[in-house]
A = this chain, B = another copy of it.
Amino acid sequence: MSKIYVAIIGAGGVGKSFISQLNAYVGRIRNKHTINTILISRSSKALQSKDYSGINLTTWESDLSGGGGGKPPAFPEETLKFLTGAPGPVILVDNTSSEEVAGEYPRFLSAGVHVVTPNKKGFSGSLELFQAIYAASAGQNGNGGYVFHEATVGAGLPVLSTLRDLQDTGDEIVKIEGVFSGTMSYLFNSFAPLSPTGSEKPFSACVAQARELGYTEPDPRDDLNGLDVARKLTILARLSGLPVSQLTSFPIQSLIPKPLETAASAEEFLDGLAEFDNDMEGVKAAAEKEGAVVRYVGSLDVAKGEVSVGLRNFDKGSAVAGLKGSDNIISFYTRRYGDRALIVQGAGAGAEVTAMGVLSDFIKVLERLK
């Protein structure tokens, strides 16, 4: 029975859910593995088990906010030293969205530390970092750590694992397309539903409502600029073999009207957005004319080497048009599956399902260490 050591950086929404799921998991597999969590760190405070004996995953939160927390080890040097000093394999779980942490994955992997993470930064930033991460990982040589990041696309949905299975078994990816943002999904499913009731609100009101319900970032422009979707497409494109050099090297349609990019606050932005409602009504009406609905999608054509993110009309009978709520849908068109796609669909955001994606990656590492 081997001992595995775990370091968790980031203990916000996803991090908390992850720790809670990990705690339950450790209980269930007690007879097969011993899992010692040796670090839980937030920006300014951390629990650190300096003798590697393990942190209590049931009381960690009160321990951390109470007297038990200390200064986190400096990143990366001190952290790396602490992790590589562990008397067994170490899995680093990065639940932050930090570029700084992601930038050090290659070093951690090269040192044999395994990395699992929902943090998109390492995979959707510079192509150099993406390549350095994979070059340092176990996939390329026998010594590096494993890296898994299922939750960077579609949270807990089996997206990257499906892509990998298709590729590993020799299928060819022709096209990947879908709705990759719960926010965009909710927005367009309410703005331009498949079966309109006539009481649909203008676009700006839909945005305001989505914000009230917590479906958007505090400033909705962080969703409407399309960058979150573009990050996911960048990851899928690179994993499909397209060397997308950076996030902005393909067309990203922003839904923020130019004059409102500089609005001082989210409120000011929302007030101004109503003036542009006619534009979006026009887009919606044009789609309806062709028996379609408008949706915000990402699309990746491997053969043509094209990636794009923005509005597109979908036939009312299509799976994308039929999406509901804030669900994501990802369609894989491949040589083997032919004209009809392999489709994965469901909630693609939320702390619980994102943490589930991270934990299933964590388990994948464990299975390889066994």
* Interface residue ranges, A against B (CB under 8 Å): 21, 24-25, 28, 156-158, 161-162, 165-166, 168-171, 194-195, 317, 319, 322, 324-325, 327, 336-338, 340-347, 352-353, 356, 359-360, 363, 367-368, 370
Contact, CB under 8 Å: A356 / B169: yes
Contact, CB under 8 Å: A168 / B363: yes
- List, in ascending order, chain B residues with CB within 8 A of A158's CB: 158, 161-162, 165, 344
Contact, CB under 8 Å: B169 / A25: yes
* 5 CB < 8 A contacts A-B: A28-B170, A166-B356, A169-B356, A337-B353, A343-B343
Residue ID in chain B nearest A150 by CB atoms: B165
Residue ID in chain B nearest A195 by CB atoms: B317
Whole-angstrom CA separation of A169 from B356 in the bound complex? 6
- List, in ascending order, chain B residues with CB within 8 A of A346's CB: 337, 340-343
Whole-angstrom CA separation of A356 from B334 in the bound complex? 12
Residue ID in chain B nearest A194 by CB atoms: B317
Contact, CB under 8 Å: B360 / A336: no
Shortest Cβ gap from A195 to chain B (Å): 7
- List, in ascending order, chain B residues with CB within 8 A of A353's CB: 336-337
Whole-angstrom CA separation of A340 from B341 in the bound complex? 21
Q: A317-B322, A322-B322, A344-B344 are in contact. Are A21 and B337 (CB under 8 A)?
A: no
Kindly identify which residue among B170, B336, B340, B347 contacts A337, using a CB–CB cutoff of 8 Å.
B347
Residue ID in chain B nearest A326 by CB atoms: B340
Contact, CB under 8 Å: B324 / A170: no
Contact, CB under 8 Å: A169 / B363: yes
Contact, CB under 8 Å: A345 / B343: yes
Contact, CB under 8 Å: B327 / A360: no
Contact, CB under 8 Å: A319 / B317: no
Whole-angstrom CA separation of A156 from B340 in the bound complex? 14
New contact pairs (6) apart from A165-B356, A168-B363, A367-B367, CB-CB < 8 Å? A21-B170, A157-B342, A165-B363, A171-B356, A319-B322, A336-B352
- List, in ascending order, chain B residues with CB within 8 A of A168's CB: 25, 359-360, 363
Q: A170-B28, A317-B195, A363-B168 are in contact. Are A340 and B368 (CB under 8 A)?
A: no
Shortest Cβ gap from A365 to chain B (Å): 11
Contact, CB under 8 Å: A342 / B345: yes
- List, in ascending order, chain B residues with CB within 8 A of A344's CB: 158, 342-345
Whole-angstrom CA separation of A166 from B162 in the bound complex? 15
From A170, A194, A338, residue with most partner B Cβ within 10 Å:
A170
Whole-angstrom CA separation of A322 from B359 in the bound complex? 32
